[in-house]
Structure 1
Amino acid sequence: MTIQVGDKIPSVELKVMGEKGPETVTTDELFAGKKVVMMAVPGAFTPGCSMTHLPGYVVKVDEIKAKGVDEVICTAVNDAFVMAAWGKDQNAEHITMLADGNGELATALGLTMDASGFGLGSVRSQRYAMIVNDGVVELLNVDSGEIDKSSAETILAAL
């Protein structure tokens, strides 16, 4: 079942790249007491994600944070090494690049897709963006083709 507005983000362990390598973080740590915008992509370095989705957030991150957002997170079903390299490639130093290597977050949220037809594997995240306040979903926009509902511009307008 897909997470809904008003639901609490499930407790999941994920990875971020630290100074000495991948470090474990929990969704509880990431969302507790903060207002967070989290956007998800099917895969790092894929065309729509690299040309449109993440770049929009890189350009708008300061405007988003100026609306009272404490953190902007980008997640994908990729490992911490790939997410760190993609963040560096995209100049996303002000965005937390969150690795959902086994698709546990995407699965817990009910936002998986089968991307095996594209050669990306059977468990990938759908493309979405959400606004989360103290661990509770306030807005969830899931794209069904175009990158419009989850774009930085759409989320900025909703804040």
Structure 2
Amino acid sequence: MGRRRFPAPGLARYVHAQDRTCRFPGCRKPARFCDLDHVRPYAEGGETVEGNLIAACRRHHRAKHEGGWTVTRAADGVVTWTGPTGRAYRTVPEPWEDLDRPPPATASTPPANHIHRDRNHSTGLHMVRSATRPASAKLSILRLSSC
């Protein structure tokens, strides 16, 4: 089996889910809109595997290849970007919540059937967001009111 330059769809989804955003420090571009970049370049023998891929938006992908930035990735997922001046910037992967446990109840947690009401007083626009709306409801309900 030969080497593969582009990740298989499952690996691409995994890296996008793992990184969530571009891994450049401070960039918040969602990973699903980013390129998958080899930390060790493919042309230099870098493998197309989870430990050698990061999500990088097009701007920061180009900065790495054309702007003098270098990238390293530790086994724990910490990525270090080193700029042309030699200064290093670390990014730590965002933590995932344990989806098997419900979030802890706090005094500020509204009851399940609570309805949130936001009002823009200058326009009289009310936004109603039900905490228990059905999964088929994709948008918040807007209504105009004179009160």
TM-score (norm 2): 0.25
Of structures 1 and 2, the one scoring higher in RCO (CA 8 A, sep 6+) is 1
* Greater gyration radius: 2
The answer to which structure has the higher helix fraction is: 1
- In the superposition, the TM-score normalised over structure 1's length comes to 0.24
